[in-house]
Amino acid sequence: EENELNRVPGPPKWPIIGSALSFLGLSQSEMFDKLLELRLKYGNRFVIKVLNRYILHVYNVEDIETVLTHSRNIKKNKPYMFIEPWLGTGLLISTGAKWNKRRKILTPTFHFDILQCFMEVFEEQSRNLVKELKKQVSEGSDVVDVSPLISDFTLYTICETAMGVRLDSDKTEAKLKYKDAVLEIGKLVMERLVTIWLHNDFIFSLHPLGKKFAKCLENVHSFADSVIKERSMSYESRGEDFNEKANSRRRALLDLLLEARIRNEIDLEGIREEVNTFMFEGHDTTATALTFGLMLLADHPDVQESIFDECKAILGDSDRSPSGSELNEMKYLDAVIKEMLRLYPSVPFIGREIVEDFMLGDTKVAKGNEVIVHIFYMQQREDLYPEPKAFKPERFLNGEKRHPFSYVPFSAGPRNCIGQRFAKMEMKSVISEIIRNFKLEPTQKGARPTLIADLVLRTTEPIYVKFVKR
Ligand code: HEM
């Protein structure tokens, strides 16, 4: 039976190698552009064939809805296997019964009440970040490379909330090594993706890139292991007290896992998988969103003033931090964050390997094929968002009707982002704190960085923002 995807347009599908030549040796930014070019050339559904794999790329809202809401096609596609040595089959990568069970164990961590308890940490870390920025500004370094500073903030926050561990100064070196290794892993994985002979695990392990990868794994894993060790020790020493109400703030995701281990629902290897998964997903995605977000704000003083006014209306002249419910009242800031994630969704595309045949309109997508959902480009379609490149938070304020799947920065359906409410609260906390203390200015008005395809959306050059004290 012919594979119906063979009939879908796309770059030439040569025997054996398929379309691989179109991608050979592309840099990460060329790769990003290539996907746009192919869409312009072949339309909102096209197929890339790599060796014997058919990979269907979709940009239509209806197609995206069909793919994301399928209850059994929840398996991640092949490239996710390249990060499996790092994250294991934790929540992001696992599938079937294992995924189901883990999602059940972990869901309570993101319950509304627990998020309220995390507020204290968001607040403290937001204040620390502002303090650090003030220090830099008073020393004359008012133009800041935002990404490293922001990713410190999100890493401290995820470690203290989800892992129950504070990153004190004695961990500075391990933290830096961890962050460098995460960046390096992204580059290595993308390079491997466009170099098909390195898809083979054995060849990769012998290649210099594979050796570098192994070194990075040591660094990320040893950081995660030290966090687990520290938390297990305090968990054991607290004994029965641990569940008392007074300690509830401290009951982090890692504690749920340690408790599940006592009930034999997860083993130590399983805990490592989830700690590695959440440490990465919980810090890098949010840092990316905030970095692009600050860049957009710097370019839009009017939006900054509206955020400032909203904060003032809710908090008056007080300089205390907003509570969880006050953050919930900040509807304008909500719309700002939505618009940031429309233009710069931290995860620009996601992939599935099809395990059960399904129909996409009149095209059968058979078991074994792969589908890529293009969040980034779909959210910039002119027919969905007039003036798609413009940063206009009002889009999300005036009750405009739009298809629910035309906005999916956190994905949707059964495998949506488990941390989305966490991320939004964290972003609101830190953006409001920054805007209450600074006016942001661009170094070059209207400039937009070159984007690259990586584990999350990144740029070829650092993003600089000028901070001026209010
Ligand atoms: C602005 C910030 C964030 C964005 C844009 C984002 C986006 C996403 C997206 C698109 C997915 C689906 C990925 C895929 O199918 O491959 C996802 C999954 C996931 N996210 Fe997030 N995320 C964010 C923040 C967070 C945070 C703060 C956490 C943890 C505290 C987190 C934990 C996860 C996990 C564990 C998954 C896998 C869920 C599953 O498959 O069951 N994310 N996220």
- Tell me the mean pLDDT per 10 residues along the chain, length 470: 90 77 80 90 92 91 97 93 95 95 89 84 95 96 96 93 84 88 92 87 96 96 91 73 49 85 92 94 96 98 98 93 94 98 97 96 94 96 95 92 95 96 96 98 94 90 96
Which residues have C-beta within 8 Å of that of residue 273, sequence separation ≥ 6? Answer: 87, 88, 89, 90, 94
Number of H helices, E strands in the chain: 16, 11
Phi-psi region of 164 (alpha: psi -120 to 50; beta: other; left: phi over 0): left
Residue 442, ligand 1, Cβ within 6 A:
no
pLDDT score for 246: 43
Which pair of tokens denotes residue 221? 């894993």
Contact 288, 456 (CB under 8 A): yes
Structurally, the chain folds into a number of domains equal to: 1
Residue 80, ligand 1, Cβ within 6 A:
no
Identify the domain containing residue 59 by its residue range. Answer: 4-469
Residue 281, ligand 1, Cβ within 6 A:
yes
Q: What share of the chain is helix, strand, coil (3-state, %, to 5)?
A: 60, 10, 30
Which pair of tokens denotes residue 67? 């793919």
Residue 456, ligand 1, Cβ within 6 A:
no
- Residue 394 Cα to ligand 1 midpoint, Å, equals 25
The interface predicted TM-score of the complex, written ipTM, equals 0.99
Residue nearest to atom 37 of ligand 1 (CA): 92
SS3 at position 9: coil
Residue nearest to atom 16 of ligand 1 (CA): 350
Residue nearest to atom 9 of ligand 1 (CA): 410
- For 215, list phi and psi in degrees, rounded to 5: -65, -40
CATH of the domain at 456: 1.10.630.10
Residue 409, ligand 1, Cβ within 6 A:
yes
Contact 129, 153 (CB under 8 A): yes
Residue 55, ligand 1, Cβ within 6 A:
no
Which residues have C-beta within 8 Å of that of residue 199, sequence separation ≥ 6? Answer: 78, 192
Q: Of 56, 46, 48, which Cα lies nearest the Cα of 18?
A: 48
CA 309 – CA 313 distance, rounded (Å): 6
- Residue 431 Cα to ligand 1 midpoint, Å, equals 20
Which pair of tokens denotes residue 348? 């620009």
Residue 293, ligand 1, Cβ within 6 A:
no
Atom of ligand 1 nearest to the CA of 414: 41
CA 322 – CA 314 distance, rounded (Å): 8
Q: Of 113, 419, 132, which Cα lies nearest the Cα of 284?
A: 419
Residue 348, ligand 1, Cβ within 6 A:
no
CA 50 – CA 54 distance, rounded (Å): 7
Residue 277, ligand 1, Cβ within 6 A:
yes
Place of tokens 């074994």: 368
Within 239-330, residue ranges assigned H as helices are: 253-262, 268-299, 301-315, 324-329
Q: Nearest 10 degrees: CA dihedral of 244, 248, 250, 253?
A: 110
Cα 452 to chain centroid distance, Å, stands at 14
Distances (CA, A) of 315 to 125, 134, 319, 329, 337: 19, 21, 8, 11, 20
Within 53-111, residue ranges assigned H as helices are: 61-69, 84-87, 96-106
Which residues have C-beta within 8 Å of that of residue 170, sequence separation ≥ 6? Answer: none
